[in-house]
Structure formats: C-alpha cells, structure tokens
C-alpha cells in the first residue's frame, strides 16, 4: 500500500470526516476512502494544496480559519463521496480544452488535479512556493474569473462551495463565525438586526455564504 493510501486511511475519522458526515446526514463510520481506486486518491501535495487554498478563502481572524477545522480534509472526502454532484458526468458546456485532460472515463472531473494544474500554471511554476500574499492574489484572480457575470461554468465555483459548506458545518463556523442559539428557544417575534451582526447558524435562510 502506498503512502498516499495509508495517509488518507488514517484520516478517515478526523474532523474532516465528521464534517462530511454532518453535511451528508450519515454516521461518521460511513465516511470512507478505502473503496476508492488508487487513481482517485489525492497526492500529499494535493492534500496540502486544498488545505492552503481553503485557508485563503476563510483565513483565521478573531475566529478560527478553515485550516484550523480541517476543511481541506472535508473537501477531499466530499469529492470522494460525490457531494454537490462532483462525481456526475460533466455538462458539455463545462468541458473546455483546459478541463478535458482531467476528466475520468465516466465523464466526471478530477477536481484536485485540475486545481493543482490551474494554480501552478497561474503561478508560473509551484503555487505553494509563493508567499501568502501572492497565493491570495493568484486565487483571487481565479475567483474573479469564475464568478464574473456571464463567465462559463468553472470547477472553482464547486470547490469554493464545498469549502464554505465544510467550514460552516464545523463547530467553529456554526457557533463562533455564526451565532448559535439552541432551538427550540423562546419565541421572539421582533429581533433587531444591526449592520455587522453575525447571522444565526440555525437560520439557513439568513446565512449568506457568498
């Protein structure tokens, strides 16, 4: 068994697995990577890359950042389990010359190899060798391109959605970054809201992940 396989097997029941179990609504014991083909397991570098990228999306401030709560591991597991349709056949309008080399035989996308290649190409070499400020700039450029009005569908929008899901289903995201109040609680028909107030994690209609 290679190093990547043993490394990810040991992580099956870490915080990343717990977050995915919460998002999927299944027991943690159901979150596994052992059934994957070796070709679909992430390399050590890809694992580090998604951890670093997740932390650029949600850095540590007065509350924990994405790396503090193992969001990178969540994304790896979410991709393995096909969360957000990530193991579905890609729509034809998403398949460009830059994406085609990273498709599986079943037509789904290998998201982490795509991200690794895309960021390394933007960095003119090794994305991870740059300092945090430059990594932030490069990722911001990818983000702006992916979310631009009229832009074609980009795999980055799906990856960013998984990062946000992983973070806001964590204890830190759900009770520190957001406000948490145990339900049921007392009925308050009129709650004043002020600019800068944190959204309630128990009220998904009020949570803006954008």
pLDDT tens-digit map of 38-93: 666 788 899 999 999 999 999 998 888 899 888 898 898 888 888 888 989 988 87
Q: Which of 61, 63, 64, 51 is nearest to 159 (CA)?
A: 51
The CA–CA distances, whole Å, from 185 to 58, 95, 120, 142, 188 equal 30, 49, 49, 43, 9
pLDDT band for 13, please (50, 70, 90 cuts).
Answer: very low
> Which residues neighbour 201 within 8 Å (Cβ) at sequence distance 6 or greater?
168, 173, 174, 175, 178, 179, 180, 207
Which residue is associated with the tokens 């290679």? 2
Q: For the chain, what is the domain count?
A: 1
pLDDT at 5: 42
Q: How many residues does the chain have?
A: 210
What mean pLDDT is reported for the chain?
A: 78
Copy the structure tokens of residue 173.
């995201």
Written as six digits, the tokens of 159 are 């990856």
Provide, rounded to the nearest whole percent, the portion of the chain with pLDDT above 70: 66
Structural domain boundaries enclosing 56? 3-206
Close Cβ partners of 209 (under 8 Å, ≥ 6 residues apart) = 161, 164, 165, 168
């Amino acid at each position: 068994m290679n190093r990547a396989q043993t490394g990810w097997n040991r992580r099956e029941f870490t915080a990343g697995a717990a977050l995915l179990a919460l998002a999927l609504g299944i027991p943690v014991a159901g979150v596994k990577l052992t059934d994957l083909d070796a070709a679909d397991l992430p390399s050590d570098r890809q694992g580090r890359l998604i951890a670093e990228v997740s932390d650029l999306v949600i850095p540590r401030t007065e509350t924990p950042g994405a790396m503090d709560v193992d969001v990178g591991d969540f994304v790896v597991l979410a991709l393995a389990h096909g969360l957000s349709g990530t193991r579905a056949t890609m729509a034809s309008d998403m398949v460009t010359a830059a994406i085609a080399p990273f498709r599986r035989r079943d037509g789904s996308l290998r998201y982490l190899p795509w991200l690794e290649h895309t960021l390394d190409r933007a960095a003119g070499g090794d994305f991870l060798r740059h300092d945090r400020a430059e990594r932030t700039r490069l990722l911001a450029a990818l983000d702006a391109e992916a979310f631009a009005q009229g832009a074609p569908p980009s795999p980055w929008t799906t990856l960013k959605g998984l990062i946000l899901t992983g973070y806001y289903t964590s204890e830190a995201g759900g009770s520190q970054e957001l406000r948490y109040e145990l339900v049921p609680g007392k009925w308050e028909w009129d709650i004043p809201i002020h600019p800068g107030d944190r959204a309630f994690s128990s009220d998904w209609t009020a949570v803006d992940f954008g």
